[in-house]
Structure 1
């Protein structure tokens, strides 16, 4: 078991860093969402939601 871990140490470390980065991004997105911030850069608190409604043809 130890030899397998040592043989794959680089892959394990890189995977751990990537998982950590994804988790931090998700936490930041949830935190921003709770504060009313949007990923588009606009303030959804003052948005009239005209761009989110049904489009008329």
Structure 2
């Protein structure tokens, strides 16, 4: 993922361990990169990262 996004591996490490959040623009880039690497991983990322937001938005 880091290679595909052209970022240092430590950046992905911090995202993964929730030490830092990616920007909204980067979230889109992550989803696109994951889709090119593994579409199932991209779907899971979207479900985990924005799923709760979409669910609460639909309930309200």
TM-score when normalising by structure 2: 0.29
Q: Which structure exhibits the higher relative contact order, with contacts defined as CA atoms closer than 8 Å and separated by 6 or more residues?
A: 2
What TM-score, normalized to structure 1?
Answer: 0.31
